[in-house]
Amino acid sequence: MLPTTSYSPLSTGNGSLSLRDAARHTAGAKRYKYLRRLLHVRQMDFEFAAWQMLYLFTSPQRVYRNFHYRKQTKDQWARDDPAFLVLLSIWLCVSTVGFGVVLEMGLVEMMKLLLWVVFIDCIGVGLLISTLMWVVTNKYLMKQQSKDHDVEWGYAFDVHLNAFYPLLVILHFLQLFFINHIVVINSDWFLGYFVGNTLWLVAIGYYIYITFLGYSALPFLKNTVVLLYPFALLGLLYVLSLCLGWNFTKGLCWFYKFRVQ
């Protein structure tokens, strides 16, 4: 049975107890607990985070079933363990260094690229997308407005991280083996941009689908199927890119080099 958000910490019989429970469940308290655990590595469950990363590729629905379980046991949808974020950051750093090596960047240029990717591409864009989805879902996709039913900003950020991880692995890791070797997708010949653009299609498709799964898992949201509509635009851009000879990977490589000049 799917959990609901009808439970409220204020519903206990003892007034003072309910206030303490309410304080524990405020956004500030959850944020403090999450950030505090970043300083205690032994309290992080890296094995479970790695399991989630694996299933985001093979069966992302199973990952969101765990979010349901957390809601039932801890009365919050968002992660309370930063282990997933830590592992994602490691993946991001390693893959970005790999990109720098493939593009034959120097040490200083590689460090500049790493800072750009971490603070702008991951954190900056992630905060922007999460906030946008948080506003849109709470304002337009709620079945009914209620103080007991809302999309947590932390959950919106978790959905973004879940969707971002497969995209990162495909575009920042698997693609590295094709840029200058095997197919050489950083070129203007058809097979090159066909393979490269197909990787982009799969990566962005994963992002859209996992984002959809994240919000459709919330029982108090409606019409979440609209989150799949970008697939139509994605398919159109893919066909156009092949017809017109657009090479997204070549553009990304140029952009990365331009950033660090």
Q: What per-residue confidence (pLDDT) applies to 70?
A: 84
pLDDT confidence band for 3 (50 / 70 / 90): very low
Tens digits of residue pLDDT in 162-221: 999 999 999 999 999 888 765 667 677 888 889 999 999 999 999 999 999 999 999 999
Region 121-137: mean pLDDT is: 94
CA–CA separation, 248 vs 225, rounded Å?
28
pLDDT confidence band for 80 (50 / 70 / 90): confident
Q: What per-residue confidence (pLDDT) applies to 9?
A: 43
Q: What per-residue confidence (pLDDT) applies to 189?
A: 82
Beta bridge partners of 142: 221
Region 152-165: mean pLDDT is: 95
Cα-Cα end-to-end distance for the chain: 55
- Is the predicted pLDDT of residue 259 greater than 60, yes or no? yes
